[in-house]
Structure 1
């Protein structure tokens, strides 16, 4: 990873209509989903994408909402720590990985089938939207090198 001090644009101030559209999309993306599950999805995608800013934000959000330190520390190894996550959360995390890493193996049928069994159609559509939205945010955070440590969940 380069440590260059090259100028990075501030999307929020230079493309405010786009940024507001992302905020609006984000506000709708988790509608109807358990907030703890939504936080786990955002955290896992952010881990995979290497977005420190989003990791900081969403782990703070999850802690603020009452999720345990243990679950938050283990989410990167959720398959080995399954007992800490519900079947629905495990299905969401697997789908998050498949969609986030789509260039590796697209979205495998077995992963999609497990998610489809764990969520009703409307929830599944919302989950897909949530995963796509956090991936978009991660791309903004990584591209613009947003710095963690400034977010306050309250």
Structure 2
């Protein structure tokens, strides 16, 4: 599997816009929570590049190995994740895995709204659609993870 196209070089305005969107989406969110959301969306989208990048970043930010390893089975992990983190992960899954018969239910949205104020919830939604966009860029261009 080889890289296909370098979006930063071949569509620089789009790439710079994504960088700006990413920066704007992160504002006001706890970085540790944001990394969990990015990792979980990337797992669902099978984006090796982003899974690698965000697990490295999460470790640098103080996230525990156990919480990173258990993220793929967070619902079965008990109280390893706070209720707020669980609400964010549930919303991440609902937004990431949309199809013609699945959607973000009122229950999932209301649970997130119980833990996040309106501005923070808006930022969380922006973070989720932004990481999904990055995942689609990396997967479609076959961006390789920098594994050490």
Q: TM-score, normalised by structure 2?
A: 0.95
Shift in Å, 1:149: 1.5
The CA deviation string for residues 70-100 of structure 1, in whole angstroms up to 9 with x for no partner, is 0000011000013111111000000000000
List per-residue Cα deviations over 1:85-127 (Å, max 9, x = no partner). 1111000000000000111511111111100111000000000
How many correspondences in the alignment?
A: 147
TM-score, normalised to structure 1, is 0.92
Q: Give 5+ residue unaligned stretches, structure 1.
A: none
Match of 2:14 among 13, 18, 29: 18
Match status 1:135 vs 2:132: yes
Q: Which of 28, 50, 53 is the aligned partner of 2:46?
A: 50
**Equivalent residue in structure 2 for 1:68, among 39, 64, 69:** 64
Runs of 4 or more above 6 Å deviation: none
Give 1:75-154 correspondences, 5 Å limit.
75-103=71-99, 104-149=101-146
Q: Note the C-alpha offset of 1:150.
A: 5.7
